[in-house]
Chain A
Amino acid sequence: MTVTSTQTAQRRTGTVVSFVLMLLGALTMVLPFLWMLSTSLKQSKLVFEFPPKWIPDPPDFANYAEVWDVAPLATGLMNSAIVTITVVLVGTLSSTMAAFAFAKLDFPHKRLLFVALLATMMVPGVVLIIPQFLAFAELGWIDTLLPLIVPAMLGNITMIFFLRQYMFGLSDELMDAAKLDGAGFLRIYWSIFLPLCKPAIAANVIIVFMGTWNDYMGPLIFTNSPENSTVQLVIASLSSYYAEQTDFPIVMAASIIAVLPVVLLFAGAQRYFVDSFAISGIK
């Protein structure tokens, strides 16, 4: 009797302690974002007030209107959208095709090729940047969006692994039945396996979207003119320019606009998102 009641008491204390700690952690995560939002709604001269004020008085949306004029933000968003949408659409197609072939088809040198894919994941990015730059320079692709689009369009190795694993779990009988019905492999891929993989594809699409939209290193190295800047580059240069003049509200407004698409996507598809990380990481 007393043992169990001490245990319940212990458990309750544990829950309270863990709640308080997790709440503190969550505040640490979210307060910087709220501060960014708060700053973006202040007039420039009000950001230096002491002590700091969390609720802007009066809230001023002018920064969100003004930011489009002080930086090529619209161009940046447009370029990011072009890159991200192409990479997501075409890249998903290439990746799912490869995953299907690795999981369900038999063709010469399949194992060798798969091991080669694994091996390329071991190549550190720092080794690839310079020769890729040289190759793109040779092709005349520097300062275009092509280096950001073309390689990624051909597929994503992580996505291939993940979907291959997923397709292994789907029964071979589906395949045999379709073959008996006289369906070709393209049909089998497109009308049977692709629809069955929808949840797994959704999870991966979100990850690829996020990675592409947020990419900074690629655009930094492969593009340089404002017309070809992605949104991340636009924000970075706006920040280094305006932060000197301490016009923080406008920079914060621009940042919020840049973060918004990913946050909205995340909010909408949170379940897929969290699960996908968990599944993709553990064999």
Chain B
Amino acid sequence: MSSVQRASDMRRHEKAWGWVFVAPITLQILLFCVAPVAIAIVAAFTNWNVIKGTYDFVGIDNFVEFLTDKKFWVASANTLFMLLPIPFYLVLAVLFAIGCHRNTPGSKLFRVLFFLPYISSIVALVVMWKWLFNYEYGLINQTLRAWFGIQGPNWLGDPAWIKFTIVLMIVWKMIGISSIYILAALKNIPGTYYEAARLDGAGPIRSFFSITLPLLTPVLFFLVVIGLIGSLQTFVEVQLFTTDGGRNYSAATITYYVWQKAFVSNEIGLASSVAFFFGLVILAVTLFQFRLSRRWVYEGE
């Protein structure tokens, strides 16, 4: 058998095996992503009934219905509110990462502890927070009472506070994981930059704003994009902390609204139209982010 023959055999095998190896993931994206997106677009224009399994096309009725629903707009405002954690956990994560980077004693242990909330399930975290922030017997309000003699707020029951409590929990949970990415970026900054700045007479504050921060913008951009996509779809916390989205719908987000319409009141068509609309909004926000990034993200020489 000639070696030319063998080589061509091998190439044919390579093509075949290539497809065999990627077959599972291809099947996954076709069945569980491409097909669902197609169904989602169709369903948005129907009055789909899961129980009867019937549907009629209703044009843009669903869109008119939710856009004129007051609850949808309350949920939209709450969804925007859920972006609030992002700047807070990023600032704290940068501080923590700098602390680790300058080898503060205990850094290794602190890093593990900062990871604890992130690796625990949201269910466990919410169970824990419901107890900690319990109005009468929770540790937080009990401690406020014991140390300062003041009555803490009704963190979970008061419509003005529940959103804030959720924001607080997300900040708490996200610091550790964000700082890991930031720390990796810090380690990539050449020490000579700081050396040069010091010789030029720049103090630590000046070096931070002129060297560290600009060089952290790529990783911060990554974290902002991921954070926005995640925060805009905040759902589980709301579902677990409240029944019915909280008093006066005070904590409900758009994803919560979608879930409630689809799986509590069985309005699949309506829920699909909201999801479709909101999906486009998220996509637009993400693309806009990339455009905007040219203005503030350092891209190297």
> Do the two chains bind?
yes
B-binding residues in A (CB < 8 A) = 10, 14-15, 18-19, 21-23, 25-26, 28-30, 32-33, 35-36, 39, 47-48, 50-52, 94-95, 97-98, 100-102, 105-108, 110, 113, 116-117, 120, 122-135, 137, 151, 153-155, 157, 160, 179, 184-186, 189, 210, 213-214, 216-217, 220-221, 232, 235-236, 239-240, 243, 246, 248, 251-252, 255-256, 258-259, 262-263, 266, 270, 273-274, 277-279, 281-282
Secondary structure of the A side of the interface? helix
Bound: A258/B121 CA distance, A: 8
Other-chain contact of B19, A107, A131, A263, A277 (Cβ < 8 Å): A107
Are B116 and A131 touching (Cβ within 8 A)? no
Also in contact, A131 and B176, with CB within 8 A (given A26-B114, A274-B115): no
Other-chain contact of A14, B27, B92, B123, B204 (Cβ < 8 Å): B204
Query: A256 to chain B: which residues have CB within 8 Å?
Result: 124
Other-chain contact of A216, B39, B114, B123, B176 (Cβ < 8 Å): B123
Which B residues from 93 to 119 make CB contacts under 8 A with A?
95-96, 98-100, 102, 104-107, 109-117, 119
Are A126 and B278 touching (Cβ within 8 A)? yes
Query: B102 to chain A: which residues have CB within 8 Å?
Result: 14-15, 18
Bound: A148/B176 CA distance, A: 28
Query: A137 to chain B: which residues have CB within 8 Å?
Result: 50
Other-chain contact of A243, B13, B130, B218 (Cβ < 8 Å): B130
Query: B36 to chain A: which residues have CB within 8 Å?
Result: 127-128, 131-132, 135
Query: A186 to chain B: which residues have CB within 8 Å?
Result: 17
A66 smallest CB distance to B (angstroms): 17
Bound: A28/B19 CA distance, A: 50
Which B residues from 1 to 16 make CB contacts under 8 A with A?
10-11, 13-16
Judge if B283 is at the interface, Cβ distance under 8 Å.
yes
A250 smallest CB distance to B (angstroms): 11
Judge if B255 is at the interface, Cβ distance under 8 Å.
yes
Are B279 and A281 touching (Cβ within 8 A)? no
Are A105 and B181 touching (Cβ within 8 A)? no
Are B279 and A160 touching (Cβ within 8 A)? no
- 4 closest cross-chain pairs (CB), A and B: A107-B18, A131-B36, A101-B21, A154-B28
A146 smallest CB distance to B (angstroms): 12
B10 smallest CB distance to A (angstroms): 6
A247 smallest CB distance to B (angstroms): 11
Residue on A nearest B218 in the bound complex, by CB = A282
Are B123 and A232 touching (Cβ within 8 A)? yes
Are B131 and A39 touching (Cβ within 8 A)? yes
Q: List 19 A-B contacts (CB under 8 A).
A: A15-B104, A22-B99, A22-B100, A23-B106, A25-B114, A29-B117, A32-B129, A35-B131, A97-B24, A123-B33, A124-B279, A135-B32, A185-B17, A221-B263, A232-B121, A235-B123, A262-B121, A263-B116, A277-B181
Secondary structure of the B side of the interface? helix
Are B21 and A151 touching (Cβ within 8 A)? no
Are B185 and A282 touching (Cβ within 8 A)? yes
A131 smallest CB distance to B (angstroms): 4
Other-chain contact of B25, A128, A132, A133, A157 (Cβ < 8 Å): A157
Judge if B29 is at the interface, Cβ distance under 8 Å.
yes
Also in contact, A278 and B184, with CB within 8 A (given A35-B132, A127-B276): yes
Other-chain contact of A113, B26, B32, B38, B239 (Cβ < 8 Å): B26
B240 smallest CB distance to A (angstroms): 6
Query: B123 to chain A: which residues have CB within 8 Å?
Result: 214, 216, 232, 235-236, 239, 255, 258
Query: B31 to chain A: which residues have CB within 8 Å?
Result: 135, 151
Judge if B282 is at the interface, Cβ distance under 8 Å.
yes
Are B279 and A123 touching (Cβ within 8 A)? yes
Are B24 and A154 touching (Cβ within 8 A)? yes
A18 smallest CB distance to B (angstroms): 4
Query: A189 to chain B: which residues have CB within 8 Å?
Result: 21
Bound: A189/B112 CA distance, A: 35
Also in contact, A263 and B120, with CB within 8 A (given A122-B286, A236-B240, A277-B177): yes
